[in-house]
Amino acid sequence: MRYILAIDAGTTSSRAILFDHQGEQKAVAQHEFPQYFPEESWVEHDAQEIWETQLKAIREVMATDGIEPTDIAAMGITNQRETTIVWDRATGAPVHKAIVWQDRRTASICESLSDHAATFLNKTGLVLDAYFSGTKIKWILDSDPSIRKRAEAGELAFGTVDSWLIWNLTQGKVHTTDVTNASRTLLYNIHELQWDQELLDLLDIPASLLPTVVSSSEKVGETAVDVLGTAIPISGIAGDQQAALFGQLCLAPGDVKNTYGTGCFCIMNTGEKAVESQNKMLTTIGWQRNGKTFYALEGSVFIAGALVQWLRDQLQMISSAPEIEALAKTVEHNGGVTFVPALSGLGAPYWDPEATGAIMGITRGTEKGHIARAALEAIALRSRDIIIEMQKDAGVEFSSLKVDGGATGNDLLMQIQADLLQKQVVRPNTTETTALGAAFFAGLAVGFWKDEDELKAIWKEDRVFSPQENSHNKRCLTLWEQRVPKLLS
Interface positions with ligand ADP (CB under 6 A): 261-262, 305-306, 308-309, 321-322, 324-325, 405-407, 409-410, 413
Cβ proximity to ligand ADP, 75 vs 372, nearer residue: 372
Cβ proximity to ligand ADP, 230 vs 309, nearer residue: 309
Give least dist CB 46 to ligand ADP, A: 21
Give least dist CB 256 to ligand ADP, A: 18
Strand partners, 260: 264
Give least dist CB 25 to ligand ADP, A: 17
CA dihedral 343→344→349→355, nearest 10 degrees, is 80
Give least dist CB 76 to ligand ADP, A: 20
Cα(136)–Cα(460) distance, rounded to whole angstroms? Answer: 40
Residue 158, Cβ density class (10 Å: 0-12 exposed, 13-18 middle, ≥19 buried): buried
Cα(198)–Cα(157) distance, rounded to whole angstroms? Answer: 20
Cβ proximity to ligand ADP, 189 vs 434, nearer residue: 434
Cα(341)–Cα(328) distance, rounded to whole angstroms? Answer: 17
| Cβ–Cβ under 8 Å, residues 137 and 121 | no
CB atoms within 10 A of CB 51: 22
Cβ proximity to ligand ADP, 322 vs 353, nearer residue: 322
Is it true that the peptide bond before 349 is cis, omega within 30 degrees of 0? yes
Give least dist CB 309 to ligand ADP, A: 4
CB atoms within 10 A of CB 88: 14
Cα(276)–Cα(255) distance, rounded to whole angstroms? Answer: 17
Distances (CA, A) of 367 to 312, 337, 339, 342, 361: 16, 10, 13, 21, 12
Closest residue to bound ligand ADP by CB: 406
Helix axes 145-152, 133-142, angle to 10 degrees: 110
Give least dist CB 323 to ligand ADP, A: 8
Give least dist CB 58 to ligand ADP, A: 21
Give least dist CB 378 to ligand ADP, A: 11
Cβ proximity to ligand ADP, 78 vs 410, nearer residue: 410
* 361 dihedral zone (left: phi>0; alpha: psi -120 to 50; beta): left
Cβ proximity to ligand ADP, 269 vs 410, nearer residue: 410
Strand partners, 473: none
Cβ proximity to ligand ADP, 102 vs 262, nearer residue: 262
Cβ proximity to ligand ADP, 103 vs 196, nearer residue: 103
Cα(327)–Cα(371) distance, rounded to whole angstroms? Answer: 9
